[in-house]
Structure 1
């Protein structure tokens, strides 16, 4: 359950960054770099290695606790986005060619990421194009609500799509770790405690 909590924190961190972009036109650089970098960790030995340490997922872990505990801190919009990404993951994995095409494209983009860094505009633009071409048509469409001024800017839209690709990566990881919707029905308390344990460890 502890590893699944980390994967879900990665998913929530990514959709929270998408929400920030949609509302303000920008996102926090360090969490964004961790989310985007996860796309290029092809041979990570552990879920923690996918995100280069739990400390890089602090915003996502805090959000996971807030979402599971309910109350005033819960954000229904983030829950809807995350659940849509989980539905998208099922269709993506079942697609006859999309996973292989995306993997090969990421290997190609990895060279630019290594040279320029994960949040370089060119890297984000290419990731956004990859999502739009190979993932978005599979459906369901992730509904992103925000300020129309920012959502009308091509650069912001590209960054949103790139970050949704990172959210999909976390969803794939969660499923690989045995995650299922039963976790949300019967494992909420265990997931929340696991997230708290990670936060304590990341201090």
Structure 2
């Protein structure tokens, strides 16, 4: 059976979206709020009906990630902002593999996400309470799996506790997308040998998004 490159590209865009959000938060202290909401929402939807449902059932919600993915696929530079994004993405994929091999960590993560779902009854997703809880889940469950992701940016920005929570919560969303990517048949070899196929899928999605917004 052939790979479903539509689902693989969606999930991959989810990982790159998280990576780019982390990069912007670390350097600027802010990022596109709609893209952030999509990524954070994906963490608490544990029973989606499809790959697209993880991201709110609308490709438009992944525009930021699709544009990032396409830019990286079309640029082989190993320096600057693109290299930083690639480092975050590959680190998330590596952590996801360690998570998937650790039954204790998987069980703890499932319990923590169930707690997050219950908290959503009382708090908004982007409230300090939920962001702190998601950040704590990343620190307690994902970080110990190692190696830790070294986030680089503005020292003044990175000292802000709220920004720290947003970055960690967004990294948790990146792990969620990486889990999804593996579940739909994603693999790192595709990044080496199927770049054109992934780029074509991303372009088609972006062109449909552009048409629907006209």
Aligned to 2:59: 54
Tell me the distance in 1 between the aligned counterparts of 2:173 and 2:122. 19
When normalised by structure 2's length, the TM-score is 0.90
Tell me the distance in 2 between the aligned counterparts of 1:193 and 1:111. 40
Q: Which runs of 4+ in 1 moved over 3 A?
A: 71-74
Tell me the distance in 2 between the aligned counterparts of 1:87 and 1:60. 19
1:13 to 10, 17, 21: 17
Does residue 148 of structure 2 align to residue 145 of structure 1? no
Task: String of CA shifts for 1:13-55, please: whole Å, max 9, x gaps.
Answer: 1111111111111222111000000011111111100001211
Maintained 8 Å contact 1:11/1:171: yes
Maintained 8 Å contact 1:67/1:74: no
Aligned to 1:95: 102
1:183 to 185, 190, 193: 190
Equivalent pairs counted in the alignment come to: 203
Aligned to 1:65: 70
2:120 to 113, 123, 137: 113
Tell me the distance in 1 between the aligned counterparts of 2:118 and 2:28. 30
The DSSP-based 3-state class of the residue aligned with 1:97 is helix
When normalised by structure 1's length, the TM-score is 0.95
TM-aligned CA deviation for residue 74 of structure 1: 7.2
Tell me the distance in 2 between the aligned counterparts of 1:154 and 1:63. 27
Tell me the distance in 2 between the aligned counterparts of 1:47 and 1:6. 7
- The runs of 5 or more residues in structure 1 that have no matched partner are none
The DSSP-based 3-state class of the residue aligned with 1:75 is helix
The DSSP-based 3-state class of the residue aligned with 2:38 is helix
